[in-house]
Amino acid sequence: METASFDGGPVQCTGGVTLTPSKALDDIGQTDLIIVPGFMFNILPVLHTLQPYSDWLKTKAEQGANVASICTGAFVVAEAGLLDGRLATTHWMFLRQFQRRYPQVIIKDDYTVTDDQGFYCSGGASSAIDLLIYLIRCFGSPELASECSRKLLVDTSRRTQTPYVQYNFKRNHEDQEILQVQEWLEQNYHQDIVFDDVAVLFNFGVRNFIRRFKNATGDTPNQYLQNLRIERAKFLLETTKNNFDQITYQIGYEDSNSFRRLFKTRVGIGPADYRKKFQF
């Protein structure tokens, strides 16, 4: 295995660590597998500077190399057009941006690892371990992958990103009146809310209110309220000992069974499993 940078020079990482690669990209002849690392949270501003890497990846893929990406490294691979029509994933925080930029890619937003004919992607940083174990299975053997997972204490069962996703409530829009509604909902989500009444409270016509709210936030008012309640329920599961019936009442629902089903559908696991996974 060899490490490489574009010109063979050292690479300054986000945390201040300097990596010294073994060679430049042009010094690499034939290779079976290329692993593209993640770029933390600065990938979009610097993506245009990484075009030479995308061009090089495209050339190597045409020569038969397999390509794997970790986290936001998928942007570099997709920029080369190598993921068009293929399954892919990336960190959940960047999935919407990824979908908008690369609409031809078949994004699997709940997967931690995807594999499509020699092109592999993984989600966040911890998903890199899942990817590496998977690559050991593909390029080594199932027995070797199993031995590595046991000795490294890695769970090889299929994982999903869904329980880790934190909903992004869009507030960076220019509709100040809708922003006031959002702030009101964040304070009153636990009440019995009728959106016809909310429209009147903020001097909107009902249809105009629903249209403007969705244009500004990307969600209908009901979807937005539902997401608020789910995020609050997750927080209470993580930070309190309250049972789920109590939490259901605290966030504005009366039927804990129906909310439990909704929670599992949206979060990917049930409330008890969520608490077990995330409560400290």
Our measurement of the distance from residue 51's CA atom to the centroid of its chain's CA atoms, rounded to an integer in Å, reads: 23
- Residue 266 has φ and ψ, to the nearest 5°, of -80, -35
**pLDDT on residue 79:** 93
Residue 71 backbone zone (phi > 0: left; psi -120 to 50: alpha; other: beta): left
**pLDDT on residue 103:** 93
**pLDDT on residue 158:** 59
CATH classification at residue 83: 3.40.50.880
3-class secondary structure, 116: strand
191 and 224 together in one domain:
yes
Q: How many domains does the chain have?
A: 2
**pLDDT on residue 156:** 63
Distances (CA, A) of 234 to 43, 77, 94, 238, 258: 29, 34, 21, 6, 16
158 and 218 together in one domain:
no
125 and 66 together in one domain:
yes
Boundaries of domain holding 120: 31-164
Q: Is residue 17 part of a domain?
A: no
130 and 233 together in one domain:
no
**pLDDT on residue 96:** 86
Q: Is residue 11 part of a domain?
A: no
Of 111, 140, 164, which residue sits at a domain end?
164
Taking the C-alpha atoms of residue 173 and residue 263, their distance in angstroms, rounded to an integer, is: 28
Helix (H) or strand (E) holding 87: strand 87-88
- Residue 238 has φ and ψ, to the nearest 5°, of -75, -35
Overall size of the chain counted in residues: 280
203 and 145 together in one domain:
no
Contact 247, 236 (CB under 8 A): yes
Contact 84, 53 (CB under 8 A): no
Name the token pair of 74.
């998928």
pLDDT tens string, the chain, 280 residues long: the values are 788 888 889 988 777 889 899 889 888 888 999 999 887 667 888 888 888 888 999 999 999 999 999 989 999 999 999 999 999 999 888 888 899 999 999 988 778 888 898 999 998 777 888 888 889 988 888 788 888 888 887 776 656 776 666 777 888 888 999 999 999 999 999 999 999 999 999 999 999 999 999 999 989 999 999 999 999 999 999 889 999 999 999 999 989 999 999 999 888 889 999 898 877 6
